[in-house]
Amino acid sequence: MAETTEHSLFEFIAYEAQLLDALRLDEWLALFADEGRYWVPLRGALQADDGTHNALADEDRLLLALRIARLKNPRAHSQHPPSRCQHVLQQSTVVHADAAARRYELRTPFIYVEARADQQLMLSGCYLHRLVDTTGGLRIALKRVDLLNPGAALPAVQLFP
């Protein structure tokens, strides 16, 4: 197993965004560990992960797979015309690294734009990725999306900020 470097961690975060932007959603889902979780807290960075608060999204691999299947279904009304997205990332920073346990935590500021027909939605905030290095490569144990203004009224977000 190759050594995990800061560069390989940064490349992984960029690759994940590229998969989403290209709508290669099955490949994106494969980046998640078996226990992987995608979480968008309702209160953003102020919200602790203690399970006592609502969330804008809180999905394990099964729920992510169901959402991806819905997005790919030709009868999905919300995808006529189809949604597209663009992730613009700042340089990630390593918040925590435990090389012995092969676990890493990165923080990445972002701007996310989702477009459908002539409508465009822009969100910004910060990702917190908890990554685990497995024999199959890096996997996402947690992707936390802390929106800059999570309390604002949001239209339906179709894809994955």
pLDDT at residue 80, as a whole number: 87
Any domain includes 155: no
How many whole angstroms separate alpha carbon 80 and alpha carbon 64?
21
pLDDT at residue 96, as a whole number: 97
pTM of the predicted structure, to 2 decimals? 0.92
Any domain includes 152: no
Section 20-25 average pLDDT: 97
Number of domains in the chain: 1
**Cα maximum dimension of the chain:** 49
- pLDDT, tens digit, for every residue of 65-120? 999 999 999 888 888 898 999 999 999 999 999 999 999 999 999 999 999 999 99
How many whole angstroms separate alpha carbon 66 and alpha carbon 61?
9
| CATH number, residue 19 | 3.10.450.50
Any domain includes 157: no
How many whole angstroms separate alpha carbon 12 and alpha carbon 31?
9
Q: What is the DSSP letter of 80?
A: S
